[in-house]
Amino acid sequence: MHLRHEIWLTLEFGFFILAMNCYCVVFLLVALHFAHGDVSYTIAEEMKSGFVIGNIAKDLGLGIATLSSRKVRIDTDRDDKRYCDINLSTGDLTVSYRIDRESLCGKKANCLLKEELVLENPLELHRISIHVQDINDNAPEFSEDLISIEITESADKGARFLLTEARDADIGTNAVQRYNLQNNEHFTINVNTDVSGRKHSELVLVKELDREKEKELELVLTAVDGGSPQRSGTAIIHITVLDANDNAPVSRAGSGSAICSKTSC
């Protein structure tokens, strides 16, 4: 009856009615999916298995009995790991697999884990968004324990030497915040932050080197993050002082060696 009525109307308003019907079907499907709301939680990464994220039954207004009778389950976007589970006797959403922010999101500032709660009879879906916060569980690390640099003794005060940066898998203040250099008379450290927020450190010569006094130097470089507790990593800077011809030969009487000034030899 309804269909016939529509066909009749289509003679005059065909395209209009068809369009309206399409909108209605789409609207109903959308309403079915999201009618009961989505939930969002924020937790720190690396919580123990069994940790209660929140009471999802309460947050969605579902009775405990409903959970079992409607075969509630958590579905995940990723088919490999189930990061959370629902306790049928309490309605608690709990951690069931290690949530490691670094492996999930790398250097992304926002780390979102998307899950879905599914109920049957009738089918009902709720989106669960879990915002994973970073904790300071990684120390800064240099790619090499020993940084070798050759510097000529004729290098001027103020000369700069770029150092390899330390990496820290955490983000924000939990990543590398500064570098410290072992106290010494020849060098200080200078740290520049580029537009992307990465910190580059360089050695700055503050007192000239003299190979005749010191052929090599070893200094401890420490990278420190801003987490709590704070973590750090170290590398040794090994500096080889290269010779410059800065000493006039001393002529000994009768040796026969040529006497010349160092710049003209």
Ligand X SMILES: *[C@@H]1O[C@H](CO)[C@@H](O)[C@H](O)[C@H]1NC(C)=O
Nearest approach in angstroms of CB 89 to ligand X is: 5
Dihedral angle sign, alpha carbons of residues 250, 254, 258, 261: positive
Stretch that binds Ca ion, among 2-10, 25-33, 79-87, 241-249 (CB under 5 A): 241-249
User: Which of ligand X, Ca ion, none interacts with 90 (beta carbon under 5 to 8 A by kind)?
Assistant: ligand X
Q: How far is the CB of 48 from ligand X (least distance, A)?
A: 13
Helix, strand, coil percentages for the chain (3-state, nearest 5):
20, 35, 45
105 — phi, psi (to 5°)?
-125, -5
Considering the complex, state which of residue 68 and residue 245 has its C-beta at the smaller distance from Ca ion.
245
Q: Using CB positions, name the residue nearest to ligand X.
A: 87
Residue closer to ligand X (CB basis): 65 or 112? 65
Answer yes or no whether residue 95 interacts with Ca ion by CB under 5 A.
no
94 binds Ca ion (CB under 5 A): no
243 binds, among ligand X, Ca ion, none (CB under 5 to 8 A by kind): Ca ion
Q: How far is the CB of 191 from ligand X (least distance, A)?
A: 48
The amino acid at residue 153 is E
Give dist(CA 112, CA 40) in Å, integer: 10
Structure tokens at 16: 């209009």
Tell me the β-bridge partners of 178.
224
Cβ 90 to ligand X shortest distance, Å: 4
Residues 6 or more apart in contact with residue 180 via CB below 8 angstroms: 189, 221, 222, 224
Taking the complex as a whole, the smallest distance from the CB of residue 119 to ligand X amounts, in Å, to 18
By beta-carbon proximity to ligand X, the closer residue of 90 and 180 is 90
- Phi and psi, residue 24, nearest 5°: -65, -45
| Residue among 9, 21, 58, 100 that touches Ca ion (CB under 5 A) | 100
The C-alpha atoms of residue 59 and residue 120 are separated, in whole angstroms, by 18
Binding partner selected for residue 202 from ligand X, Ca ion, none, CB under the kind-specific 5 to 8 Å limit: none
Q: Name the binder of 87 from Ca ion, ligand X, none, CB < 5-8 A by kind.
A: ligand X
Per CB under 5 A, which region of 31-39, 107-115, 187-195, 224-232 contacts Ca ion? 224-232
Please give the structure tokens belonging to residue 111: 């780390």
Could you say which of ligand X, Ca ion, none residue 59 binds, taking C-beta under 5 to 8 angstroms by partner kind?
none
- Find the binder of Ca ion among 43, 225, 237, 241 (CB under 5 A): 225
Amino acid at 184: N
CA-based angle 230:234:237, to the nearest 5? 150
Residues that bind ligand X (CB under 6 A): 87, 89-90
Give the burial class of 93: count Cβ atoms within 10 A of its Cβ; 0-12 exposed, 13-18 middle, 19 or more buried.
buried
* Distances in whole angstroms, Cα of residue 166 to Cα of each of 106, 156, 184, 195, 215: 16, 27, 21, 17, 27
Task: Name which of 115 and 170 has its Cβ closer to ligand X.
Answer: 115
The verdict on 85 binding Ca ion (CB under 5 A) reads no
